Amino acid sequence: MTFAATVLTLYPEMFPGPLGVSLAGRALREGTWALDAVQIRDFAIDKHRTVDDTPAGGGAGMVLRVDVLAAAVDHALAAHPGCPVLAMTPRGKPLTQDRVRELAAGPGVIVLCGRFEGFDERIFAGRQVEEVSVGDIVLSGGECAALMLLDACIRLLPGVMGAPSSGQEESFENGLLEYPHYTRPVEWEGRTIPEVLRSGDHAKIAEWRKRRSEDDTRSRRPDLWERHVGARVQSASGAQREVQDD
């Protein structure tokens, strides 16, 4: 089944952009995913094709009009009924690999890209739009965020990545950062590849990788580590309860 990506944007010429090359580009040409970049301005209702207006309450910048946005979302939903609608905004829930995995397993996504000060707030409840952030940074528009989201989904589609196992060991797939990698040359500017990786002892290598994955997550991402440890404790007590229930 083709994963249908609909992007609602003031700059449709930004798509597929980087998603037209490499693995995503090949998958697009092969029909593993489809892209429809839709010009929001086509849904403007006045003769000047206005998409924005000044913020209620005053202040700098312009806000995307809810009636125009709703018409664009309705158009996309008519073509893809039941498809999740996501708006890119720094006020949204941080995007996670778990959510990406869910989206990639579904029929596709409709992605709303903001510009200027962003969206009229009423669009989110009015059309069941999920607000998504790609990090605690502010971009000039939602298009780069949409490209990130789509790239993350597309690489998980069946057949897009070469070896299926290469997706499973990545960072976040088990709640941890991935272990570090090395390749030839064995020595570079006096720095060598860790001995164990050259030992050929697969059990030892697996153990080293697991430890580095845990150590690096603990020191670099205490937030991820805490969640990982919490989930382990929870699943252990869940298993205990099952035993007691028997």
For ligand SAH, the binding residues (CB under 6 A) are: 88-91, 113-115, 117-118, 133-135, 137-139, 141-142, 145
Min CB(178)–ligand SAH separation in Å: 24
C-alpha to C-alpha distance for 173 and 162, rounded to whole angstroms: 17
Number of continuous H segments (helices) and E segments (strands) in the chain? 8, 9
Min CB(110)–ligand SAH separation in Å: 14
**169, two tokens:** 């060991």
**Which residue of this chain has its Cβ atom nearest to ligand SAH in the complex?**
114
Min CB(35)–ligand SAH separation in Å: 18
**Nearer residue to ligand SAH within complex by CB, 6 or 133:** 133
Min CB(154)–ligand SAH separation in Å: 18
**42, two tokens:** 């086509």
Min CB(15)–ligand SAH separation in Å: 14
Burial 191-206 (b: 16+ CB within 10 A, else e): eeeeeebeeeeeeebe
**Nearer residue to ligand SAH within complex by CB, 108 or 114:** 114
Burial 47-85 (b: 16+ CB within 10 A, else e): eeeebbeeeeeeeeeebbbbebbbebbebbbeebeebbb
CA end-to-end span of the chain: 42
In degrees rounded to 5, what are phi and psi of residue 245?
-65, -25
Min CB(104)–ligand SAH separation in Å: 19
In DSSP terms, which residues pair with 86 in a beta bridge?
Answer: 111, 130
**Nearer residue to ligand SAH within complex by CB, 131 or 178:** 131
Q: How many CB atoms lie within 10 A of CB 183?
A: 7
**Nearer residue to ligand SAH within complex by CB, 12 or 142:** 142
**Nearer residue to ligand SAH within complex by CB, 32 or 133:** 133
CB distance 124 to 131 below 8 Å: yes
**Nearer residue to ligand SAH within complex by CB, 151 or 216:** 151
Min CB(72)–ligand SAH separation in Å: 14
∠ CA 7-39-26, nearest 5°, is 45
**Nearer residue to ligand SAH within complex by CB, 85 or 197:** 85
